[in-house]
Structure formats: C-alpha cells, structure tokens
Structure 1
Amino acid sequence: MATTNTADEPPSSTTVPEPVTTTATDYPSLQPALHLRVGTWSPTVVGSLSRGTPLTVVPLVGGTLVSEPGYPVRVDASMRGNGADYVHTDPDGGRMRLRTDLVMADDNGETIHVHYTGIVDINADMRRILGRSENARSTEYGHAFIHVTFETGSMRYKALEQGVFVGAGRFVLEEGDLKVEYRISQVCKGSGLAEEGSA
C-alpha cells in the first residue's frame, strides 16, 4: 500500500546547500611572542608498567623566558628553582612525547608557571645527541613542536593566560652541555597575507 504525506509532515526538499567559501583569513596566523631557553641535567629512566613506553625524567635548570621585539607583553624572566621534562618515547623509537613544567620569575618577583606538551622527531641528529656520540651537533628548528600554556597571579602577564601559544624547538650543544630552546608564537586571526616568496 502506498504512503502519502500527511498535513503535519513537511514537504520533501531537494535544495542543495550553498558551498561555504573559505578564504586565507579563516586560517590562523602566528605572531612571534617569546623565546624560551633551558638547560638540561642528567636524565633518570623511570620506566612504566602501565603505558608500555618508558618514562624518562629530565631535570631542567637555568632557564630564561624573554619576549620577542614588538610583542606587547614584555617578559624578561629566569627560572625559579628547577623544572622537569617528562618524556615518553614511542614504541617504534621515532618520536619523543614531552610534558614539561617550570616556573619563571622576573626581577620584581612576579612569577609565571610555564607548561607545555609536544612531540620531537628522533632524526639522525637527535639520535647522536641521545647516544652521546662524539659527532653529535645542535639540531635545527623544524623537528620539535610544542603547545604552551601559562598561569600567573600577575596582572602584568594576564594576557599570557588568555592566548593560545605554539612553539618550534631545537636542541643546542654548548661546550658539552645540552640546552633546549623554543621560539614561541601566539596564534592569532589570519592575516590572509603570504610572506614574500611563499607558494
């Protein structure tokens, strides 16, 4: 038996929704914001029964956090006490996954808690560093990326709590000591402008 629409049923529609136009300004852009540089100490391999990937804890010492020229939040702070980098290496050995906490303080005693998570590609240069090879050298930017959050009780740095920040990092060998540094940018509304020479 055929069925028919009742008065309470809306008529069927074959209208196709109009496509949404996407422009370059719909994508975020990055504003250079902060430069983080931290020294490392001898790591401790803890292991992990539950995760299946071993936990390594790396003490962080002697760090600085400085704002980039032109960034509206002026920061010039150094590490208060020590921090820690909690590292899990993927089972295939191809990447390290970071979870890091440290506290920075400026000359006025205003403090900022810095927390970031990220992924580091273990490329040939990184393997030489981890293996303490005589041929080890500093890595280039482009193989380590982080998402950074800030927490503070200072109105001076309130804007850091309200933004979204990402960073690109590298590992630096200086006279046998290993340091990590990150160029941190704030995620902003897209400008829609490509840099000169970009495709």
Structure 2
Amino acid sequence: MLYFDNAATTKPDPSVLSSFMKVNEKFFYNPNSPHQKGQEVERLLQNARDQIKSTLKLNDETLIFTSGATESNNMALKGAAHQKKHFGRTIITSLLEHPSVLEVMRELEREGFILKYVNVTTEGRIDIDDLKSLLTNDVILVTCMQVNNIMGQMQPIEEIVESLKPYPKVHFHQINR
C-alpha cells in the first residue's frame, strides 16, 4: 500500500518506535512522584531535555513539553499575541489553518484583538499580494501552516517571510503539523 497522507501523520521510524515502546513499558511512572521509580523517570526526562537543548543549541532557554499540537498552538499564539499587544492588536491568519489555530484566533478576537483573514489562491496557497495589502504597523502576528494536513499544499514560506521583513514587530508563527 502507498500512503499519501504524510502531511497529517507519518509512520514512525522503526528505531524510534522501538525506543518509544521500551521506555513506555519500563518507565511509565509519574516523574513528579517522590518514590524511587518516579525519581528515576525524572532523571531520564531531565536527560532528554538536556539532549534536546544541546542538539538545538538552546543554552539555558526554557524547553516546554506539551501534550501535542493543540496545546502548543494555544501557548505559542496566545503568548505571542499578549506579549506583543503593546505594539498593536492586529493578527493575520487564513481559513486554511488547523481548527486548533482558528479557535485560538476567535478567542483572541473576543479579547479585543483584530483578526484579518488573508485570501488564498485557487491552488490553496496564501495570496502573497493580499498578505502584503493587509500588512500595517499594527500587525503583531501572522500565522501560517507550512503544509496543509488535509490537502497537502505547501505554503510559500520564503515569500511570506520576505513580505514580513519591513515589519520587524511581527511574530511569524509557522506551524508544522
């Protein structure tokens, strides 16, 4: 069978799956528990954090583990919007976004942020000319799914980033699902 839905989910590499299974069979304890097994899991978790920080060259920056994409999108989008609201209150997104992003956008709109939707082309890609027309000094956040998890379109990320360069206050939230 050929699988053509890798934009939504991807089969894990066998070595990653094997490691995941071993860890979940042996180390299922709560890392916040005071007992010996809980403390052992806490050490393993800290080692994993340190490895990720080292690989990504994060120094002492905070690394946050979430339950998945929805929680991550919530934290990133709300955090960016509230951190930058003293620069402006306008956010640009598109109707192609994942429901977890669109729900956060609606919530931010209820809080008083101004939401603008960029048009998409007939091919399902962000319309760069429309994006440029929406950009003002009040825009603080632009969000874009790099590859659509349902239809598989790849967005023109480099063109989007180039469009944002004249607006240094804008945070670009690129989503990889």
TM-score normalised to structure 2 length = 0.24
Which protein is bigger by CA-based radius of gyration? Answer: 1
TM-score normalised to structure 1 length = 0.22
Higher helix share: 2
Higher strand share: 1
